Amino acid sequence: MLRLAIQIAPNLPWQEWSAPASAPRSKSEALHYYRHRLIALDRGLTPRELDVCVRSLLGMTAEGTALDLDIKQSSVVTYRKRAYVRLGISSQSELFRLLA
C-alpha cells in the first residue's frame, strides 16, 4: 500500500492543496491583512477596536488579546462589543462571515 502511495504521489496536484499565495504566512502578516480588510469595510472602527477585532479573527481569546495589547481583559470585551455594534454584528462567527 505504501509503495502505491509513493508511486502516485508525484502525479498529484499538490499546489491545489496549499494556501493561496496571497494568504498571510506569519502573525504580523495576518494582523496587517485583516486590519486592511476591516478598514476597507469603512465602518468607522477606532484603532483599538481594529486591534481587538483582528486578534479575534486570528482566534485569540479575550485574555490573549489583553496580554498582547497590554490592556485589561474587560477593556477587550468592551472594545469588541463596540466594534460589533459599528459592524452591525453580534458574534465572532458573524465577524468571520463579514470578511468571507
Q: Are 79 and 61 in contact (CB under 8 A)?
A: no
Residues 6+ apart with CB under 8 A from 83: 45, 49, 50, 52, 53
Return the C-alpha cell found at 80: 469588541
* Better pLDDT: 2 or 100: 100
User: What pLDDT digit, counting tens, does each position of 12-53 carry?
Assistant: 444 444 445 566 678 889 899 999 999 999 999 999 999 999
This prediction's pTM: 0.74
The CATH number that domain 26-98 falls under is 1.10.10.10
